Structure 1
């Protein structure tokens, strides 16, 4: 019951009383006192009904409040919003960065090989048979341990990126720069893999320097990349080849055209041209390269890389000196060579994989070049290496590897005992923790 209901009932009751009074007056005259008394009772009744309506209205409001509180108490409290947790690393300049690298332990047992204390590939300088051979040696090193930082800064004109990567393969295991560059749009400025001598098409090895036929060259450079379509891009670079035999006046110019034929086949055609300069003379050195990667199956991968170079020894590894001069510093001859490396990798399961590889390099028989050397045992007619390795990853961050490599070099000149061949025969092992 509410106020509107009592007002509805009160109005007709009052009207009835008003009508009844005149009727009663006509039926039997009443005294003035009786009329006043009746009016007073009607007024009192009206007051009581109004008071009752107010009480009911107050009770109704109170019940409404109780129901609202009950509903609030019954409703579950909203769960607190969980804030995303994580480590956001930023530099003082506001760049985001991430850290990566590995802790790497290398060891080898050398049946025959190079005499240098460093345990990595020395195929171009291994002693000739019977002439100061370095046999039955155990070597170990942590120098290939690596640390890297990747940076990115968002700007109104696009992201600016950068990388710094170092290891300990400098002189006497000192810290050295591997990569240090910035990227902006299609441009790269700094030191990274050469645009000409790239490691992408080398078969996998344990040796940190790779084997003959491949290249692990990093140069300071300015590089521009142009993408024709999602499958094809052209990269042009001006590079400092760091050739100590030449007085650099102009940077080396390199170009690579890369095309992805399908998800399983990728090729790269590359070219290089550079000036070789002495105090008295200059000459142009040049080279071409062709690399390919082919996925034979989901678990079997093939890599191959080929180079033909004339007059340069700074880009492709393990080569003879690029050019020779006379007493007047005139360039009288250049070395010209072909090299190839190829290999197949099998992923046996998520933990095990292995690679079989082969590399070969052959120099031209240029008499002017060969006769410029007093000791012809120091220059190589041909080099080759073959290797087999297996890697095991018991858990994702850890990689354990074992590798056997055998190779030979053939010199243009013979040792006093008549030998022209040197031997590289060793077993490599590695343990890496990648982070």
Structure 2
């Protein structure tokens, strides 16, 4: 029993000794494993730091590249659009062809090609071949002969004389001064010689100056639309103008100053004269330039403007003065419709309205043809036009226009034009951007002081491509 007891007592002791001997080994093994883990963690931390550093460097390069791309895009957006050079093609030269221009100048070019084809029927005989009334609606060219005169058969005309082109250059100095030069021409100038200008063979027509001006900040000098004319109110016509009777329409040399909504100008003077039963040659005796002033306001709804005109007339030793006013604008009626209008009235408004349908002045002569007096002629006119857009490719326009002059038949005779009016309706189809195919019907009438009248009926088509 003692032996058994001693044996049992020795077992815990052996166990304790075994544990005591094993513990340092376990502790040593655990310490080595921890060191290995710590070394691995340190290596991982080092690799993470290297990755973070590489990522930060890469992010900096990305941000720098993005900044460079943004700068290039901004420069491209501010620079004029340049067509891409086709593959295999090279530009004619790598430097500018306008070596005399100011550095940083921006050049532009544009225009359109237009073919007009029309059939005309006039009540009192045909408009003379070669007359401008054969090319577009000019009320003063409507023949008026009276009773017993037959108009004959309709006649047809084709031409491309209203095709035009223009050049422009813009420049802004380091100080912010803005300069602009502009020149525009078409071919509505007749033939360059008697043979080339007729319709027998070549139909060659001379280049005609329309506009040529330079502007500096608020100032403009050169030939352009009169400050008395509101070009933005003109309707969308197939005819060159359409509402010729009642609109102002003048381009001439001038000096103009514009400040915000206000503009004033001094423009080339010229006096048209009405004698007894006949128009007289223009007078170039004028001393004072024509003075105009305009006020304009505009917004999403359209625009509204009022213009005034002051003139002096001189023929020989006789003088007179005149004044006129024009109110016009465009009113947007929703997304698909707009109304365009103009009302003109004044004394001596003649050559500014309806392509000179009435004269500026009436000249009173004695029996020997000597000048007794010169008086400004009162005139009135206007138009209204409704435009409706059916779709992005189809639109229509309906226009009415009229003008009237207050002649004194005792001085002018009864052959002077008293009034003219017209109505036009068209449809314009644009199968592709910038390409317009139009058809328009028009009716116009001219009346004289003796109540004789003549009318014009016309069907006109056009193909126009703008660039």
Tell me the TM-score normalised to structure 2 length: 0.69
Residue of structure 1 in register with 2:41 after alignment: none
The separation in 2 between residues aligned to 1:182 and 1:134, in whole angstroms, is 49
2:286 counterpart (248, 255, 267): 248
Do residues 114 (structure 1) and 119 (structure 2) align?
no
Residue of structure 2 in register with 1:168 after alignment: 187
Do residues 216 (structure 1) and 231 (structure 2) align?
no
1:375-427: CA deviation from partner (whole Å, max 9, x where unpaired) = x33x211110000011111010211110000011111136xxxxx11011001
- The structure-2 alpha-carbon separation of the partners of 1:321 and 1:263, relative to structure 1 and needing over 3 Å to count, comes to same
Do residues 234 (structure 1) and 266 (structure 2) align?
no
Do residues 86 (structure 1) and 82 (structure 2) align?
yes
Do residues 126 (structure 1) and 148 (structure 2) align?
no
**Residue 221 of structure 1, CA deviation:** 0.5
Q: Structure 2 regions of 5+ residues with no counterpart?
A: 1-49, 84-94, 192-204, 272-281
- The structure-2 alpha-carbon separation of the partners of 1:365 and 1:314, relative to structure 1 and needing over 3 Å to count, comes to closer
**Residue 333 of structure 1, CA deviation:** 3.5
Q: Runs of 4 or more off by more than 4 Å in structure 1?
A: 81-85, 87-90
1:307 counterpart (322, 341, 344): 344
The separation in 2 between residues aligned to 1:184 and 1:368, in whole angstroms, is 50
The separation in 2 between residues aligned to 1:206 and 1:226, in whole angstroms, is 34
Residue of structure 1 in register with 2:165 after alignment: 147
Decide whether the 8 Å contact of 1:206 with 1:401 is kept in 2: yes
The separation in 2 between residues aligned to 1:295 and 1:240, in whole angstroms, is 34
Decide whether the 8 Å contact of 1:278 with 1:330 is kept in 2: no
Residue of structure 1 in register with 2:389 after alignment: 347
Q: Whose radius of gyration is greater, 1 or 2? A: 1
The separation in 1 between residues aligned to 2:165 and 2:223, in whole angstroms, is 16
**Residue 134 of structure 1, CA deviation:** 6.4
Specify the SS of the correspondent of 1:205: coil
1:198-227: CA deviation from partner (whole Å, max 9, x where unpaired) = 332232211114321012211111000111
Residue of structure 2 in register with 1:179 after alignment: 211
The separation in 1 between residues aligned to 2:218 and 2:110, in whole angstroms, is 24
The separation in 2 between residues aligned to 1:134 and 1:147, in whole angstroms, is 38
1:51-90: CA deviation from partner (whole Å, max 9, x where unpaired) = xxxxxxxxxxxxxxxx9xxx9xxx9x999x8986936966
Decide whether the 8 Å contact of 1:311 with 1:334 is kept in 2: yes
- The structure-2 alpha-carbon separation of the partners of 1:196 and 1:368, relative to structure 1 and needing over 3 Å to count, comes to farther
- The structure-2 alpha-carbon separation of the partners of 1:134 and 1:256, relative to structure 1 and needing over 3 Å to count, comes to farther
The separation in 2 between residues aligned to 1:146 and 1:241, in whole angstroms, is 27
- The structure-2 alpha-carbon separation of the partners of 1:207 and 1:369, relative to structure 1 and needing over 3 Å to count, comes to farther
Decide whether the 8 Å contact of 1:115 with 1:126 is kept in 2: no
